[in-house]
Amino acid sequence: MKKVLCLLLFITLALAHKASLFAQSEKPLYTFPFGVQTYTYRNSFPNGVAATLDTIQALGITELEGSNPKGTTPEEFRKMADARKLTIPSIGAGYKELLENPDEIIRTAKILGASYVMVAWIPHDRHDFKFENAKKAAEDFNTIGKKLKENGLTFCYHIHGYEFRPYNNGTLFDYIVQNTNPEWVSFELDVLWAFHGGADPVALLNKYGDRWKLMHIKDLKKGVKGDHTGSTSTENDVAVGTGQIDIPAVLKAAKKAGIKHYFIEDESSSIRTQVPQTIAYLKSLKE
CATH tag, 29-284:
3.20.20.150
Residue 174, pLDDT above cutoff 80? yes
pLDDT score recorded for residue 25: 58
3-class SS of residue 213: strand
**176 and 140 in contact (C-beta within 8 Å)?**
no
| pLDDT for residue 189 | 98
| Integer CA distances (angstroms), 232 to 192, 221, 226, 269, in order | 10, 10, 8, 14
pLDDT at 11 over 80: no
| pLDDT over 60 (residue 100) | yes
pLDDT tens string 176-232? 999 999 999 999 999 999 999 999 999 999 999 999 999 999 999 999 999 999 999
Contact yes or no for 41/66 (Cβ under 8 A): no
- Which residues, in sequence order, are bridge partners of residue 220? 237
Helix, strand, coil percent values for the chain (each to nearest 5): 50, 15, 35
What's the CA dihedral at 9, 13, 19, 23 to 10 degrees?
Answer: 150
pLDDT at 126: 78
Q: What phi and psi values does residue 90 have, to the nearest 5 degrees? A: -140, 140
Whether the pLDDT of residue 4 is over 90: the answer is no
Q: Where are the domains of the chain?
A: 29-284
Percent of the chain with pLDDT over 70: 91
CA angle, 186 then 188 then 190, to 5° = 155
First CA to last CA across the chain, in angstroms? 43
The span from the CA of 275 to the CA of 259, in Å, is: 21
Question: pTM for the complete prediction?
Answer: 0.90
| Mean of pLDDT values over 85-100 | 98
pLDDT band at 23 (very low <50, low <70, confident <90, very high): very low
